Structure 1
Amino acid sequence: MVVMSGEWGPAGDRGAGASSLVSMSSGELPRGDRFDWYVELVRESIAPFSLSSAHAHGFKARVAAVDLGSVQMTHFVFEPLRAARTLRHIRRSDPETYQLALVGGSPMSVRQCGNDAEVDTGSLVFFDTSHPLDAFVPDEHGQGRVTLLRIPKQAFPLPAGQADRVLSRRLTPDGVSGAVLCQYLTTIRDRATDLARASVIGSERSRSISPPRSSPSMLTPGICYRRSPASRSCAHRSTPT
């Protein structure tokens, strides 16, 4: 069950842009159903994970997503939790994507491919759905807030070996590259409604000057991923299931 909200603008303002902008909240669900709803939402929007939280009953979460064509951005607000993606999860389903996360609420701890990162508010971290991952958002600092850019591996400009070297490492926002990435993510997050409207206007203009043609489906609350029969593992690393 998906509950739509107006987190990124009133529902009436989204109009035809609703196909490229989706906003969801656990607030209108029964308290006992909220955590299961969020687990399923993470599975659909990122990949399968095992989630646990001391706040599972009555779990509070909001999620908003915008489709940018070859990449998608999702903004999560959620109660403190622990997340684990194991080899079993990867064998079951791997969308084969990289995820660039901007942490905006509680700091979080991340471990992947033997790298441990303590990611504080305002910093970035990079991870890969094809490797086991552990992430933890503690209770001490309130809700987690993460803006996540999902990038298909075939669209990523670096070879896998180079990308693996920065997995689960805190990426500082102080340098030029970090500042540009942070500004990019925050601008999309804060101007998502405008982007959705612009997408609709552009589509209408395109249809007015060219014959109709088929196009990839836009982001919807239920996302179908390509499944992979087997996982990849980090070179010379061994990770328990």
Structure 2
Amino acid sequence: MLIETNFGTEDLAAADRFEFWRECVAQTHAPLDLHSEYAEDFRARQRVLSLGAVHVWSTRHQALSFHRTPKLIRQSDPEQYHIGIPLHGTSRITWADQRAVYGPHEIQLFDTSRACDVMCANDSELFSGIGLEIPKMMLHLPRKKLDRLVAQGLPGREGVGALLVQFLTQLAADSSPYQPSDGPRLGTVVTDLLSAVFAHAMDTEPSLPPETRTRTLTLRIRAHVQRNLHDHQLTPHAIAAAHNISLSYLHRLFKAEHETVAAWIRHQRLERARRDLADPVMSPTAIHAIAARWGFPRAADFTRAFRATYGMPPRDYRRQALHPPDATAEAGNRP
């Protein structure tokens, strides 16, 4: 099940805020020793999504240090990997005899069984980040090689790392498109992406389960399509070539998703165009220009496809979206 939990300090008395935050963090993650120069009036908020055994979170807080000590490990160890990704600010990490500083979109792996110290700060502004907790047994990767990545920074602005950061950011920002029953499926997507990030870093991608490689490849293809919707030459042939796979294999991937490649591309383009038509900022832009912007070079083709999908021509849709009927006036005109 998908379960969402939100907690923050803004509604508490200043003197109670830091202790409340300490307790929430311990329950959400693992027991930690926390310190902050802002402890007397601590500002923080966190949102946690439980996706079965996987937990995704987003957080904003004042400068804060976390200490996972040997004593706390002996007290409680959930046997999890903790992944932290700063969005605004930096994480300064000390473990064993090593130190490192990681900035926005760098993916960091922590092990609840290993001691470390982390300082998260963003100068005088709130630090913000996203991350997740996942049981170690859910990652089917060589444990010894995976342990070498602990507290190492992995790129989150390119490749599969960028897919992971984008997916977590969107999911943590808004879970409303999903049903509670979607939780396990979303947990599987997160696990697959995380496994692919680590496997790439360890150069062990062939060791991933076939279903994980397939789902990750499909996500890569979808992200590629989203980035290139404006290109009217974005065809199944071009997509297959860009990913070094055959056209027939590409079609098989999307058959498992219960839609054709071309149909999905067309739907994405129409949806982007529909949003632009309803956007007041885009109102000076001609409809044919919006169509061309999203990969429809022929206005007639766009109009026909839009009408078939949304039940009206794009011109009528724009007029209704930008100038909706005055409900009060309509009510007054009723007999």
Q: Which amino acid in 2 is paired with 1:93?
A: S
One of 129, 135, 139 as aligned partner of 1:156: 139
Aligned twin of 2:119? 136
Structure 1 alignment gaps of length 5 or more: 1-16, 204-241
Q: How big is the shift at 1:115?
A: 4.0
SS at match of 1:178: helix
Which stretch shows the higher mean deviation, 177-186 or 134-143?
A: 134-143
Paired residues for 1:1-241 under 5 Å: 20-138=3-121, 140=123, 142-195=125-178, 198-199=179-180
Contact 1:35/1:58, CA 8 A, preserved across alignment: yes
Match of 2:262 in 1: none
The amino acid across from 2:92 in the alignment is: S
More helix by share: 2
User: Considering only CA atoms, is the larger Rg found in Structure 1 or Structure 2?
Assistant: 2
Give the Cα separation in 2 of the matches to 1:38 and 1:31.
Answer: 12
Instruction: State the alpha-carbon separation in 2 of the partners of residues 48 and 136 from structure 1.
Output: 16
Secondary structure of the structure 2 residue equivalent to 1:193? coil
- RMSD after superposition: 1.9
- Classify the secondary structure of the residue corresponding to 1:39: helix
What letter is aligned with 2:49?
V
On the 8 A contact 2:31/2:76 being kept in 1, the answer is yes
Letter in 1 for 2:3: S
Q: Percent identity?
A: 26
> How does the TM-score come out when normalised to structure 2?
0.52
Name which structure has the greater RCO, CA cutoff 8 Å, separation 6+.
Answer: 1
Distance 2:11 2:116 in 1: 31
* 5+ residue gaps, structure 2: 184-335
Q: Are the counterparts in 2 of residues 125 and 168 from structure 1 also a CA contact under 8 Å?
A: yes
Q: Does structure 1 conserve the Cα–Cα contact (< 8 Å) formed by 2:90 and 2:122?
A: no
Please report the TM-score for the alignment, with normalisation by the length of structure 1. 0.71
